[in-house]
Amino acid sequence: MEQNPFGGRDDDRAPQPRQHDQRDEYTQQHQQHHQEQQSSDQHHQQQQQYYQQHPSEQQYQSPPHPHSPPQHPHQQPARYKNQHPPHQRPQPQYRLTAKITGLERTGRKDPILKFDVHTNLPKFRTTQFRDVRRTHPEFQKLAHHLLSSNPECIVPAVPPPSTSAGVGTDEDETRVRAYMQRWLNTICSNPVLIHDEEIIFFIESDFGYSPVVHRKQPATGVRRKVIKQFAPPPDDTPELEAARPVVKAFYLGTMETGQKVQRVVKARRGLGLAEAEFGKNLLLLASPEAHPGLANAFKKLSRTVQSVGDFHAMQATAEATTLADPLNYHSSDAFIVKEILTNRQILMRELDSARKETRSKLQTAEVLKAKSSLRRDKVDEALAALEEAKSAESHLDAKVRRVTNNLLQEQRKWFHRTSADLRAAIRDFTLRQIEAERRTLATLEAVRPDIRAIDASGGLSRLGREAPPAARRASLAASQGPKGDAWSGVERAKGVQRGEFGMPREVKETVKRERIVEEEEEGDRLDAKNAASRLAGSTF
């Protein structure tokens, strides 16, 4: 039986490819639905984990409407499948970091600081800035602008361009870089200052920096001095009210202490110069000396005294670097903080004046309202003045509130930062002092054998000592030990009050009585033994 290719059997076979296509489409739809359900399940799990980590945000979920149809627990609205709901979006954490990478200095001129900047603030052209170069005066210009434009922030003083360690030394460069890095960290960590447009100009400027906007303090010159003479206005924030006297006392105290340390440094440098000159004169005594032991002792003592003079000069430089410089810097920084708190008091005075002005304008309007005949121009003028006074008062009130709330946090941070810096400076100063004293003591200990080797009897070590010379010459250990003074040979007695020279009072009185008896017996006989005894018993 022949089959027509256009017959029914062919027609039955013809739709088979379409059935296969329909099956594929159904399979694809089923797979797509399964994938959407899996993604929905994953999003639901992520959302549950988010609410477990942030339980406080779960209360902001909107409850389901009572008449809304029930939804599958894994189903989410289409707009929430790939993004967080508006109330669940985390707030962007804006940051600005600057790291100093180098310092260039020509002679004794102000240095040029090189630093890199990383940020995610939207106003910047890009997120990274490499090898930004700014001079020290440009940092000072930026700090001056930030002080004038942000009365609610405490802008620290810019560190000086050099230290007492000496311009050009490695320690000076290290300390300047560390101080400037600390200043940049303080500025970049302030959430208010990083949004100032001058920060953008300071970083993005290609050919130096100069402030675009010039602003002044609330009061300057004679007017500021006159305002300071009056009593401070009533303050509803006791913490800030008590902070200004403390900051002022700290400013005066650090300034006075820094000046005293500078005088100590100057005196110690003079001591070092005098010791160096004294060492040279001792060397001149060695050449004509006929006694070989004494000549050798003069030579060794000359070099030792000169070394001690050099150590004292180094110690003076260390004192100025580790203690005087931090005190002077924190004094200038405390002065800035005091002036910032003074600016807040000036704003409070302006707010009181604005309130008085508003009450005056309101009374003027009330007087006009009570009159029988009203002039339209007078009424309009009075109402305009009243609205302007109210607007000025509301603006100053909001500004004072903003400044007060922010300064509360800023002054706490400043107290913590300043105390930590001063503790670190005092610790550094103490360690340097201990190191200098140990170096000086070790240098003086090195010359002790030469002094004792002047003659066979122990040299100058026998003057006024109680222990026999042989016992003293046997030990050349350190002069000060746990058993007492090795030079005198007298052991320390525990629990005994000591006299002026570290010797127990009972021993000192006994020795004194014995010397008096010996002097009475020997009379005024002048010989080497009597002269040495008198010399040892005298005080200089």
Instruction: For residues 535 and 518, give the distance between their C-alpha atoms in angstroms, rounded to a whole number.
Output: 14
Instruction: For residues 373 and 363, give the distance between their C-alpha atoms in angstroms, rounded to a whole number.
Output: 17
pLDDT for 48: 54
This model's pTM is above 0.85: no
Asked whether residue 53 is assigned to any structural domain, the reply reads no
Chain segment 193-232, per-residue pLDDT in tens:
999 999 999 999 888 888 887 777 777 777 777 777 777 8
Asked whether residue 472 is assigned to any structural domain, the reply reads no
Segments of the chain scoring below 50 in pLDDT: 1-24, 26, 50-51, 54-83, 468, 471-474, 495-503, 538-540
Axis-axis angle for helices 197-204, 136-149 (nearest 10): 170
pLDDT for 258: 95
The residue out of 429, 459, 489 marking a domain boundary is: 459
Distances (CA, A) of 533 to 235, 514, 536: 73, 11, 5
DSSP bridge partners of 446 = none
Q: Per this entry, what is the length of the chain?
A: 540
Instruction: For residues 330 and 144, give the distance between their C-alpha atoms in angstroms, rounded to a whole number.
Output: 17
Cα 168 off chain centre by: 24
Total domains in the fold of the chain: 2
Distances (CA, A) of 227 to 88, 205, 242, 245: 50, 39, 19, 16
Asked whether residue 138 is assigned to any structural domain, the reply reads yes
Distances (CA, A) of 63 to 49, 60, 66, 67, 499: 19, 9, 9, 12, 86
Instruction: For residues 308 and 437, give the distance between their C-alpha atoms in angstroms, rounded to a whole number.
Output: 10
230 shares a domain with 191: no
Instruction: For residues 423 and 420, give the distance between their C-alpha atoms in angstroms, rounded to a whole number.
Output: 5
How many CB atoms within 10 Å of residue 346? 18
Backbone angles phi, psi at 122, to 5 degrees: -70, -20
The string of DSSP letters for 158-198 reads PPPS--TT-TTSHHHHHHHHHHHHHHHHHHHT-TTGGG-HH
448 shares a domain with 368: yes
Asked whether residue 11 is assigned to any structural domain, the reply reads no
Instruction: For residues 276 and 274, give the distance between their C-alpha atoms in angstroms, rounded to a whole number.
Output: 5
Asked if 154 contacts 410 with a C-beta cutoff of 8 angstroms, the reply is: yes
295 shares a domain with 189: no
Q: Which domain holds residue 365?
A: 225-459
189 shares a domain with 272: no
137 shares a domain with 107: yes
287 shares a domain with 376: yes
260 shares a domain with 376: yes
243 shares a domain with 129: no
Asked whether residue 151 is assigned to any structural domain, the reply reads yes
The residue out of 459, 489, 505 marking a domain boundary is: 459
Instruction: For residues 346 and 340, give the distance between their C-alpha atoms in angstroms, rounded to a whole number.
Output: 10
236 shares a domain with 211: no
368 shares a domain with 265: yes
Asked whether residue 66 is assigned to any structural domain, the reply reads no
154 shares a domain with 249: no
Instruction: For residues 96 and 117, give the distance between their C-alpha atoms in angstroms, rounded to a whole number.
Output: 7
Share of the chain above pLDDT 90, in %: 42
Which two structure tokens, joined as six digits, stand for 208?
């130096």
Asked whether residue 132 is assigned to any structural domain, the reply reads yes
Chain segment 225-271, per-residue pLDDT in tens:
777 777 788 888 889 989 999 999 999 999 999 999 999 999 999 99
CA-closest candidate to residue 484, choices 503, 509, 511, 460: 503
Backbone angles phi, psi at 187, to 5 degrees: -70, -45
The residue out of 426, 444, 459 marking a domain boundary is: 459
Which two structure tokens, joined as six digits, stand for 234?
């009533």
| CATH number, domain with residue 286 | 1.20.1270.60
Torsion of CA 415, 416, 417, 420, to 10 degrees: 120
| CATH number, domain with residue 147 | 3.30.1520.10
Instruction: For residues 182 and 177, give the distance between their C-alpha atoms in angstroms, rounded to a whole number.
Output: 9
Instruction: For residues 400 and 6, give the distance between their C-alpha atoms in angstroms, rounded to a whole number.
Output: 95
Asked whether residue 118 is assigned to any structural domain, the reply reads yes
Residue/partner pairs of 230-236 with CB below 8 Å, 24 or more apart:
232/345, 233/345, 233/348, 233/349, 233/352, 235/345, 235/348
275 shares a domain with 160: no
Torsion of CA 466, 469, 470, 474, to 10 degrees: 90
Asked if 444 contacts 304 with a C-beta cutoff of 8 angstroms, the reply is: yes
> End-to-end distance of the chain based on CA atoms, in angstroms?
148
Q: What's the half-sphere exposure (Cβ side, CA atoms, 13 Å) at 21?
A: 5
CA-closest candidate to residue 48, choices 76, 86, 70, 78: 76
Asked if 237 contacts 281 with a C-beta cutoff of 8 angstroms, the reply is: no
